[in-house]
Amino acid sequence: MDQSYGDFRARREATVWQRLNRILRVLLVLAIWLVIVSLFVPPYKKLMQSRAEIDNSQVQVNEQQSLLAHQTREVNLLKTDATYLETIARDRLDLMKEGETVFRLEPARAAKPNAIKSARR
């Protein structure tokens, strides 16, 4: 009987050690995975930040190209179209031809916040 108890105790200790070994392996794999992730997360964040900067820069480039096209067209018209040049010059100098009536439309002024609230009531 002593022998069977010894075998049982040896098997029980072996299963405890096997469980501890499994837990240790899982923890080791988890630690290695965390190290790998921690090595790749900062460069990934930097990559995403760089992509956002590139997108912002591309938007600015597009805006500048649009502005350049508009100004190039205006310069071309000023150089080649006498009627356009006359119209722009008279507009900027506030001049008009004899018998001409000029109507100026001013943009709507922003209403005060209080006036908007009272209009809604």
pLDDT digits (tens, 9 = 90+) for 69-91: 999 999 999 999 999 998 888 88
73: phi then psi, degrees, rounded to nearest 5: -65, -45
pTM above 0.85, yes or no: no
pLDDT in tens, 15-39: 888 888 999 999 999 999 999 999 9
Are the CB atoms for 25 and 31 separated by under 8 Å? Answer: no
Region of residue 97 (left: phi > 0; alpha: psi -120 to 50; beta: else): beta
Q: Which helix (H) or strand (E) holds 77?
A: helix 2-80
